Structure 1
Amino acid sequence: MSAAPRIRLAIADDHILFRKGLRALLTGFEEIEVIFEAGDGQDLLERLDSASTRPDVVLMDLQMPVLDGLQTTRLLRVQYPQVRIIIISMHDEPELVDSLKAEGAFGYLLKNASPEEMRRLIYAAAGRKVAAAV
Structure 2
Amino acid sequence: MRIGELSNRTGVSHRLLRYYEEQGLLTADRTGGGFREYGPDTPTVVRQIRALLTAGLPTRVIRDILPCAHGPAPELESHPDMLAVLRHELGAVEARLECLAETRDILACYLAATEARGASEPVRSTNAGR
TM over 0.5: no
Q: Which of the pair has the greater relative contact order for Cα pairs under 8 Å at 6+ separation?
A: 1
Smaller-chain TM-score bracket? under 0.3
The structure with the greater share of residues assigned to helix is 2
The structure with the larger Rg is 2
TM-score (norm 1): 0.25
TM-score (norm 2): 0.26
